[in-house]
Structure 1
Amino acid sequence: MKNGSSLPSGETLPNEEESYYGEWAVGFLCVLMLSISTVLLVLYYLESQEVAVKINAMQRIREFMVSRNQSFEHMNDSAILNEAQKLLQEVVKIDSKIFELQLSIDAFIERISTGWKQHDGHLYYLDAYETAFFYARRACKNRNATLTPITTASEETFVESLSKASKQSVWIGLLKDGKSWKWIDGKTPFRTSFWESGQPNPWSPLREDCVEIPMNCATPGNCWNSVSCDERKAAVCRVSPDERWMT
């Protein structure tokens, strides 16, 4: 060695190739650390933005809930969120009811446009095809209706008017069950009657277990006439309001 210098025993100077790869490795590690630092900074930024969004959302929820009920003002965030969840569930239920109500309204409009008549909260349809009582009952059922019960004098007069307008005798949904009469819809109690004089006829040789309103009734307001269920009449079908919307 020049200048009398010497290396410690067992050591040698690195050659140029080894120095190059050493510098490359250091440079690569620096770039890698810079990239990792950049990724961490981006993740931190996104996380901080998400936290800010959550804080802002919580503040809006709190303001809304307190505006509805001042007693919520001193609740913590967890309690506020619990109350908001309850409110959301109620809103979902109401939205579902609104949807069902709209379907009922649409069905009502469709019926009105296809010949149904409205009277005292009910819809009525006169099916002009004359058939036996139990076929008439089925025809009404196929229209999601029932062969009409009659419970008021006003309803009796209205159904009589349908019969006269069509010039047809019509079935109503009254059927003899043993010795008593019942409405076939299964839910209307039999309390009021509008029989013609001498009806129902207990002395008829035929089984007169069904009831018509004859088109030529001479005693308006009292037109029920018991006849054989095999006679052929038109049918008056009735749809009642959905009980869900009556409460």
Structure 2
Amino acid sequence: MAPEKPSPSQTKPPKAPAPKLELKAKKQGAKGGGGAKKGAASKGRASKGSIAEGAPAKEGAAAKGRAPAKGRAPAKKRASKGSTSEGGPAKEAADKKVTGTAKKKNLPRIIRNRSVAFFQSALVLHAAVILCFLLFAATISAIALYAMERGKTNSLRAGAKKITKFMRAHEPRLRTLLDSEVLEETLKYAETLASWRTKIIELDEAITDITRKITKDWEVFGGSLFLFHMGAQTYVQAIHTCSTRDSSLATIDTPAEEEFIESHVKGKHVDYWIGLHKQRIDWIWLEDTPVRQMFWSPGAPINKGLAGGDTENCVFVDKHCTLNKQCWRDSLCTSLKRAICRIRPNEKWMY
């Protein structure tokens, strides 16, 4: 029997479901293999529904429905399988890319840290080298100082032996003493010699000063130096004039000194002050030495009372004196006269 032809209603395929299914299959295929499988299943169901209406429609729908199901689904499945199978290497590549990017970002910090560590190690090495050099130099210096001190000690010992030998040879009483005792006695001798050397220097300076004074208007008499100053001045000014020359207004102790002074005063144009003045009722010398002898002119002194501001308190040698050793007169201290300065011998040179 010939097969029964399907009715037009049965042979006409549905139009709406097919595009929806295809869009859904495409979306799910983009997502992965699972979506592809669902799309294929849904297309299969659609094709079965269309076959139920008739054999020819069933064959045509099956041909149309199976073609996309068999042709597209495997590709999507393969794609999904390929994506799942290639997921491991892709992930590793992505991880390597991220790691490489992180390493590139951290590269300056790594270089900086390594540079700092390098320089720190170099500084430590340099410091260690310098410290070793300093220790070596200190050791050499200590050795040199030790050698020098040892050489000095040996020299001192040799010198001490020579000194003790010399002292025992020239001082018999030191021969029975120990070396240390001999050195102590030698030290005492050295101190004595040093003091004598100082005195010799001072004496030489004094001689030089006296020589200079002699060549500048100073005259020597009786172991003293006398200066007959030419400027007229008051008694106080005369005291200052002599003190600036390391001397004092003349003190006359002996008749010989009086005659020496009178020989320089008589016949001059101005009188000369001497160091005698009145204090209360007594006549005293400026040097506070006792008045042993006085050489007043006849009728002098004028002031026979107390010393006062308006009385004759100061003594001078009269230029008009004609008598021998009788030339002293008293006058007001404000009178203008010349000064006689005297320098006595230094007692430390008198033995």
1:10-40 CA-to-partner distances (Å, cap 9, x unmatched) read xxxxxxxxxxxxxxxxxxxxxxxxxxxxxx9
- Residue 228 of structure 1 and its aligned partner are, at CA, apart by 1.1
Task: Find the counterpart in structure 1 of residue 290 from structure 2.
Answer: 189
Aligned with residue 74 of structure 1, among 176, 189, 198? 176
Is it true that 1:105 corresponds to 2:207 in the alignment? yes
CA distance in 1, matches of 2:274, 2:152: 68
1:174-201 CA-to-partner distances (Å, cap 9, x unmatched) read 0000100000122x21121111111112
Highest relative contact order (Cα 8 Å, sep 6+), 1 or 2? 1
1:28-64 CA-to-partner distances (Å, cap 9, x unmatched) read xxxxxxxxxxxx9xx88x95x7666444322321122
CA distance in 2, matches of 1:168, 1:66: 68
What percentage of residue pairs aligned between the two structures are identical?
Answer: 29
Is it true that 1:114 corresponds to 2:212 in the alignment? no
CA 1:165 to 1:87, structure 2 compared with 1: closer, same or farther past 3 Å? Answer: farther
Task: Tell me if structure 1 keeps the 8 A contact 2:249–2:341.
Answer: yes
Q: What is the correspondence of 1:86-235 to structure 2 with a 5 Å cutoff? A: 86-164=188-266, 166-186=268-288, 188-202=289-303, 207-235=311-339
Larger relative helix fraction: 2
Task: Find the counterpart in structure 2 of residue 36 from structure 1.
Answer: none
> Comparing 156-165 with 55-64, which one deviates more in the overlay?
55-64
| Aligned partner of residue 319 in structure 2, secondary structure | coil
| Aligned partner of residue 131 in structure 1, secondary structure | coil
CA distance in 2, matches of 1:74, 1:156: 61
- Structure 1: 5+ residue runs without aligned partners? 1-39
The residue identity in structure 1 corresponding to 2:159 is A
| Aligned partner of residue 84 in structure 1, secondary structure | helix
Give the alignment's TM-score, normalised by structure 2: 0.54
The residue identity in structure 2 corresponding to 1:216 is H
- Residue 230 of structure 1 and its aligned partner are, at CA, apart by 1.2
1:127-164 CA-to-partner distances (Å, cap 9, x unmatched) read 11011111111111111100001110000011111213
Task: Tell me if structure 1 keeps the 8 A contact 2:303–2:311.
Answer: no
The residue identity in structure 2 corresponding to 1:107 is D
The residue identity in structure 1 corresponding to 2:327 is C
Task: Tell me if structure 1 keeps the 8 A contact 2:267–2:320.
Answer: no
CA distance in 1, matches of 2:335, 2:230: 14
Task: Tell me if structure 1 keeps the 8 A contact 2:224–2:344.
Answer: yes
The residue identity in structure 1 corresponding to 2:244 is N
The residue identity in structure 1 corresponding to 2:337 is K
RMSD, aligned α-carbons? 2.5
- Residue 234 of structure 1 and its aligned partner are, at CA, apart by 0.6
> Comparing 77-86 with 115-124, which one deviates more in the overlay?
77-86
CA distance in 2, matches of 1:151, 1:238: 12
CA distance in 1, matches of 2:344, 2:247: 8
Instruction: Tell me how many residue pairs correspond in the alignment.
Output: 205
| Aligned partner of residue 159 in structure 1, secondary structure | helix
- Residue 203 of structure 1 and its aligned partner are, at CA, apart by 6.3
